[in-house]
A = this chain, B = another copy of it.
Amino acid sequence: MPKLDFDIITLGHGSGGTLTSQLLEAGVFKLFGNDLLNKKHDGAIFNISGKVAMSTDSYVVSPIFFPGGNIGDLAINGTVNDLAMCGATAKYLSLGFVLEEGLKMEEFWQILNTIKFSCEEANVQIITGDTKVVEKGKGDKIFINTTGIGEVHPHANIDIDNVKVGDKIILSGPLARHGITIMSVRQGLEFETSITSDTRPLHKIIVELIGQFGAGIHFLRDPTRGGLATLLNEVARDARLGVDISQKNIPVEEEVYGACEMLGFDPLYVANEGLFVSVVDPSIAADYLRLLKKWEHGAMASVIGEVVMEHPRQVILNSNIGGRRVVNMLAGEQLPRIC
């Protein structure tokens, strides 16, 4: 950690004056420095051409540290993944902090280092940023906004309008790890389980899949807030078609399932950070699944259902005991501040 005059964040660090400058020099510029950022201008200037994707997210997860990650890698991976879901490889990120007065400099430093690590892992550069500080009690330690710019893969054609009857729905891995991790920490149960957040960047596997299957991939989305159930409802609503899924094909790890039971959550609604759902042409589904299963996090990937003509805008689950039930979008709030 660099030597600074303060061991906590003060309002002065958000003044735009000397303390802001000191904090940025010792922290941000030192860790993230690159030709664009080092200009220290009001914005960054770069050359780009072709099809570009832009995505934004504010991260307000609480607690800010949890098994498997912290708000820093969530903020980088989350936006890298939103771009990946557009068929794009993240290239440039902006980074905006809203810090609460009193945040420990040590915690901020740890988050900055995690951000640096995640940026390197995703091969993305922070090129412009902003730091604000609010009074104690007017924020909650740290909120982070990242906005990303990515280059869209030339073979990508991901658009909800491409989704059609017969398309297969493929889930990349087991549900509910991130949400259950956060909930376990809040309930003081984190030492009783070995469950960790599944936060990770997804750009590499997505590039590989698009490279191989191109326009056969009709739609991609990651089941974060609202979980798989909400995502599938969005697909059904926006494609104006039905979605049929089979409970027996939806992977949930045993320990996570147990924690869901104990905490009273349906894994279909719990947030994930390192998963994605693909809606693909039936002709490529088997090969797609095969490639996905070779990915280091894809062993439990599974075809969980398909797009149907019947019950438009509705998601129907075929349950393990042979019943059929409607799965609605998440109503109300299950787990506030999960990401």
Contact = CB atoms under 8 A, between A and B. Distances in A.
Contacts of A54: 43-44, 46, 92, 94, 127-128, 149
A50 B15 CA distance: 34
A60 interface: yes
B225 A15 contact: yes
B18 A43 contact: no
Interface in A29-83: 39-60, 62, 81-83
A331 to B, nearest CB: 5
A97 B58 contact: yes
Please state the number of chain copies in the assembly.
Answer: 2
B56 A52 contact: no
Contacts of A264: none
A140 to B, nearest CB: 4
A134 B98 contact: no
B222 A58 contact: no
A278 interface: no
A129 interface: yes
Contacts of A52: 45-48
A82 B329 CA distance: 39
A18 B56 contact: no
B230 A88 contact: no
Contacts of A56: 94-96, 128-130, 145, 147
Contacts of A150: 43
A96 B58 contact: yes
B43 A83 contact: yes
Nearest to A44: B54
Nearest to A149: B54
B42 A222 contact: yes
Contacts of A132: 58-60, 143, 337
A322 interface: no
A14 B20 CA distance: 31
A10 interface: yes
Given A45-B52, A46-B51, 8 more contacts: A17-B226, A39-B160, A41-B159, A43-B148, A45-B51, A96-B147, A138-B139, A145-B145
